[in-house]
Amino acid sequence: MYDFKIEAADKATMYRDLLSALEGLTASEPDPIANMANAAALVWESLPGLNWAGFYRNVDGELVLGPFQGRPACIRIPFGQGVCGAAAESLQVQRVEDVHAFPGHIACDAASASELVVPILDQDGKLIAVLDLDSPTPARFTEEDEAGCLALCEVLGKVL
Ligand code: SME
């Protein structure tokens, strides 16, 4: 078992440590499911205040549930639906302070209040998957979280 304990005093340091742990864990492993599974566990253990952390994969133009931590979740999400589908269709990060105000939000867990979804693109800019983080705290995700998770997803784009 790998024992990564990322408990930095400030968020910037935490994301820097998280990024290097992710690089270390995935660099020599070619299997995308294994890498998504470890990435989900790493994020779940490192970021406080989450109730779900994981991936939806682009499978022939539909989002299909991938490795995650948290409660069982919806399995398939069409592009354009909910927060994950909006990220998949637009290829833009979706940082939603209040999911209940987001048109078409898919409530997998009634406890979720805010959400951050980051697209993961391959070298050609094609969507591989999205990283989805949910929190029961409204406006849990800041610009710093968005930037930190974008950096994680750039690494993941090379190893998924
Ligand atoms: N709430 C998401 C669905 C996925 S779950 O949160 C795990 C959405 O609207 O895309």
- Please give the model's pTM, rounded to 2 decimal places: 0.94
* For the CA of 108, the nearest atom of ligand 1: 5
Give 73 Cα–ligand 1 centroid separation in angstroms: 8
Residue whose CA is closest, atom 2 of ligand 1?
106
Q: What average pLDDT does this structure show over 41-51?
A: 96
Please tell me the predicted confidence (pLDDT) of residue 110.
Answer: 86
Residue nearest atom 1 of ligand 1, based on CA coordinates: 106
69, 126 contact by CB (below 8 A): no
Q: How far is the CA of 52 from the centre of ligand 1 (A)?
A: 9
Whether the pLDDT of residue 57 is over 90: the answer is: yes
Q: Are 106 and 77 in contact (CB under 8 A)?
A: yes
pLDDT average, residue stretch 127-140: 97
Summarize the confidence of residues 121-149 as an average pLDDT.
97
Check residue 2 and give its pLDDT: 66
Identify the pLDDT of residue 66. Answer: 98
Distance from the CA of 119 to the center of ligand 1, in angstroms? Answer: 14
How far away, in angstroms, is 109 Cα from ligand 1 center? 8
